């Protein structure tokens, strides 16, 4: 038979009785009886109130705040201890216990409850009771500290999650801005590709009409001796050339040779095909065949008045066969086409002779004697004076520099080496003027192709400059004539900047440029010498250019405003133009 809960202390009637009841001590057994008598749902609702949130966290630490957790003896004991410490909580729980229906009516309200009074505590002595109370206080203190630690950890976790959430939002916004910038860039490139496609179509149409209506033109300069075979496409650009260069680069020599020979069957004087065939024969070790193709290439260049290109072929021919049967005839034929007023051809001839002296002194000595015998006036222009220093001779400077190596250091932007050489030249000029004149003459000869390389050696530069190489390569006053990016505008811009006093001139270009430029071999040579830097594939070149310009504190030479990456125009930009003659001019 179910027993009724013990009588709850109600105190006296009236305010005096209530005050007396509040002051009466409450035992742990009484608190447990209140909790047993009160409805669990009512107590849980009480614990959800803000005033009792800390009590709820302390009592239910390690348990769920529900009816199952409330029925746990550990939770009941913790709540009873809170009743002993908190009078307000005790009054509320006592009220809930008084309002609870008796056990006999539990079935009527859907609850089954069996409340058994706790056995009376055995009487204990004062010391033992003090120890028990102290242990209870220590236990409550530990539980309170654990609850506070749990609350602190929960707050730290909440703050960390909120911070991560804000960081994710920032990243999302940044990605959205980047996607918008990339979309604008893609749209701009699509417009550029469409424009280039239209220009290419117009170019092809013009070429077809030109082939139909224009007869073949004669050579620009007729030779004095019997005319060699005439080349029909010395200056033209043909798709097969890029394919042949690719095959040669990949080592597919037989396929490249077959392609070149097919072209030569249609046009025996095609200079590019002759050059390709000579390279293949040379790499295969067939020096006789290579020399034969080189001799035909020499005749093709001379037939079109290109004595500068013919000088390189003549040196190549002498390196293949140091004493070829017709070497004297080839050399004299080249001298016949060489004029004293053709500065470019003379410079190319001097550079070729300098290379030959370093590669084959015997061949150089033989050719020098032939030049002296056949053209004494040209010998003074082509050969250095007695005692003069050549581009590959050591200069009277610390470090055993040569004039050619010093010019290469300027082109590669080696600031420390150039600064040291500039100071050494200044000291040499003061100490030994004659030696300085010989050294400067060698430097002048080494820099004949681009005399702007001498400017950083003559005076201190004003600072570096960064060049948007791809923007320069695509610059064209007449895009119908040049549908592909060109290498020359990059070099002309470097020349103009160095003459303006900028050094080093840092050339950057997009990763695809070596596959689209008009002279891939020359570009690869510049890349190998460190004169041009390619941006990594998949990286936006504009971002790299702006970052490098900021790092160097240098202006950026480009005709692109780069509003996607520099909306505030923080980096100084220098615009330029390329004249019809190919010279670069800075606009600021």
Would residue 329 count as lying in a domain?
no
Number of separate domains in the chain:
3
Of 428, 460, 492, which closes a domain? 460
pLDDT tens across 384-413, in order?
666 677 788 888 888 778 988 999 999 999
Q: 427 and 486, same structural domain?
A: no
pLDDT at 418: 94
Tell me which H or E stretch contains 202.
Answer: helix 126-213
Per-residue confidence (pLDDT) for residue 234, from 0 to 100: 37
Report yes or no: 417 and 409 within 8 Å, Cβ to Cβ.
yes
Asked if residue 555 is part of any domain, the answer here is yes
Bridge partners of 502?
463
Residues 538 and 515 in one domain: yes
Same-domain pairing of 498 and 561: yes
Q: Is residue 450 part of a domain?
A: yes
pLDDT score for 122: 52
Contact 314/352 with Cβ under 8 angstroms?
Answer: yes
Count other C-beta atoms under 10 Å from residue 207's C-beta. 12
Phi and psi (nearest 5°) for 342?
-95, 85
- pLDDT tens digits for 205-228? 655 554 444 444 333 333 433 333
Q: What is the predicted pLDDT for the residue at 181?
A: 83
396 and 469 part of one domain: no
Alpha-carbon distances, residue 26 vs 23, 85, 90, 92 (angstroms): 9, 10, 9, 14
Neighbours of 313 (CB within 10 A): 27
Which residue, of 397, 425, 460, is where some domain finishes?
Answer: 460
Residue 458 to residue 433: CA distance in whole angstroms:
15
Give the span between the Cα atoms of 226 and 152, in whole angstroms.
101
Q: Which one of 99, 133, 161 terminates a domain?
A: 99
Q: In what side-by-side order are the strands of the sheet with 556-557?
A: 532-534, 502-509, 463-468, 556-557, 573-574
Q: Is 452 in contact with 499 (CB distance < 8 Å)?
A: yes
R_g (Cα) of the chain, nearest Å: 47
CATH number at residue 560: 3.40.50.11980
pLDDT block averages, 10 residues each, the chain of length 588: 46 45 74 90 90 88 87 90 90 89 50 52 66 88 90 89 88 87 80 68 56 41 39 48 75 84 85 86 84 84 79 79 68 74 73 73 74 70 68 84 91 93 92 89 87 93 94 72 80 95 94 88 91 89 90 92 80 89 86
448 and 536 in a single domain? The answer is no
Bridge partners for 578 per DSSP? 584
- Beta strands 576-578 and 573-574 are unpaired
491 in any annotated domain: yes
- Considering the domain architecture, whether residues 445 and 414 belong to the same structural domain is answered as yes
Q: What is the pTM of this model?
A: 0.49
Same domain, yes or no: 422 and 493: no
Helix axes 126-213, 73-85, angle to 10 degrees: 110
What was the pLDDT predicted at 236? 41
**Do 512 and 572 fall within a single domain?**
yes
Residue 537 and residue 477 share a domain? yes
Is 453 inside a domain boundary?
yes
pLDDT at 527: 92
Query: What pLDDT, on the 0 to 100 scale, is given for residue 383?
Result: 66
Domain that holds residue 51: 21-99
CA angle 177, 182, 184 (to 5 degrees): 95
In this structure, the answer to whether residues 416 and 531 fall within a common structural domain is: no
Does residue 184 sit within a domain? Answer: no
Mention every residue, 6+ apart, whose C-beta is less than 8 A from residue 86. 55
- What residue ranges in 35-106 does DSSP mark as E strands? none
Residue 205 counted as domain residue: no
Q: Report if residue 180 sits inside a domain.
A: no
Query: Are residues 469 and 453 part of one domain?
Result: no
What is the pLDDT, as a whole number, of residue 587?
A: 87
Peptide bond into 75 cis (omega under 30): no
């Amino acid at each position: 038979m179910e027993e009724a809960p013990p009588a709850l202390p109600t105190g006296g009637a009236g305010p005096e009785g209530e005050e007396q009841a509040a002051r009466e001590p409450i035992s742990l057994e009484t608190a447990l009886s209140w909790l047993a008598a009160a409805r669990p749902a009512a107590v849980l609702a009480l614990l959800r109130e803000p005033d009792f949130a800390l009590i709820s966290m302390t009592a239910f630490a390690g348990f769920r705040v529900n009816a199952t957790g409330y029925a746990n003896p550990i939770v009941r004991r913790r709540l009873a201890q809170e009743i002993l410490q908190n009078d307000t909580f005790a009054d509320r729980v006592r009220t809930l216990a008084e309002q609870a229906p008796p056990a006999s009516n539990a079935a009527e309200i859907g609850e089954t409850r069996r409340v058994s009074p706790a056995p009376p505590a055995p009487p204990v002595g004062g010391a033992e009771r003090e120890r028990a109370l102290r242990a209870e206080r220590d236990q409550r203190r530990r539980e309170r500290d654990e609850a506070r630690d749990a609350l602190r950890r929960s707050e730290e976790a909440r703050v960390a999650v909120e911070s991560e959430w804000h960081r994710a939002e920032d990243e999302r916004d940044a990605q959205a801005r980047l996607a918008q910038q990339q979309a604008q860039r893609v749209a701009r490139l699509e417009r550029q590709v469409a424009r280039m496609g239209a220009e290419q179509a117009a170019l092809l149409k013009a070429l077809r009409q030109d082939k139909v209506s224009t007869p073949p033109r004669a050579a620009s300069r007729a030779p004095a001796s019997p005319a060699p075979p005439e080349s029909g496409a010395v200056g033209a650009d043909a798709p097969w050339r890029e394919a042949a260069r690719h095959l040669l680069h990949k080592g597919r020599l037989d396929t490249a040779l077959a392609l070149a020979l097919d072209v030569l069957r249609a046009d025996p004087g095609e200079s590019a095909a002759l050059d390709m065939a000579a390279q293949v024969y040379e790499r295969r070790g067939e020096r006789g065949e290579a020399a034969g193709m080189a001799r035909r290439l020499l005749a093709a260049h001379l037939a079109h008045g290109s004595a500068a290109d013919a000088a390189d072929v003549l040196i190549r021919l002498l390196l293949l066969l140091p004493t070829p049967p017709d070497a004297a005839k080839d050399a004299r034929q080249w001298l016949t086409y060489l004029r004293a007023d053709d500065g470019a051809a003379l410079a190319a001839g001097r550079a070729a002779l300098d290379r030959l002296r370093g590669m084959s002194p015997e061949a150089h000595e033989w050719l020098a004697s032939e030049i002296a015998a056949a053209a004494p006036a040209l010998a003074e222009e082509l050969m250095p004076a007695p005692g003069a220093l050549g581009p590959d001779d050591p200069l009277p400077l610390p470090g055993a520099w040569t004039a050619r190596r010093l010019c290469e250091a300027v082109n590669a932007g080696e600031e420390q080496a150039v600064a040291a050489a500039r100071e050494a030249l200044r000291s040499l000029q003061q100490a030994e003027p004659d030696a300085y004149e010989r050294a400067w003459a060698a430097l002048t000869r080494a820099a004949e192709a681009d005399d702007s390389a001498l400017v950083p050696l003559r005076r201190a530069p004003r600072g570096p400059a960064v060049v948007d190489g791809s923007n320069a390569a695509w610059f064209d006053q007449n895009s119908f004539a040049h549908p592909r990016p060109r290498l020359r505008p990059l070099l002309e811009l470097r020349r103009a900047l160095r003459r303006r006093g900028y050094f080093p001139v840092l050339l950057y270009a997009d990763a695809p440029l070596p596959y689209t430029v008009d002279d891939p071999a020359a570009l690869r040579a510049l890349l190998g010498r460190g004169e041009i830097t390619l941006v990594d594939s998949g990286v936006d070149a504009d971002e790299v250019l702006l970052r490098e310009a900021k790092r160097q504190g240098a202006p950026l030479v480009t005709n692109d405003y780069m509003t996607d990456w520099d909306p505030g125009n923080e980096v100084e930009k220098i615009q330029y133009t390329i004249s019809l003659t190919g010279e670069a001019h800075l606009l600021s």
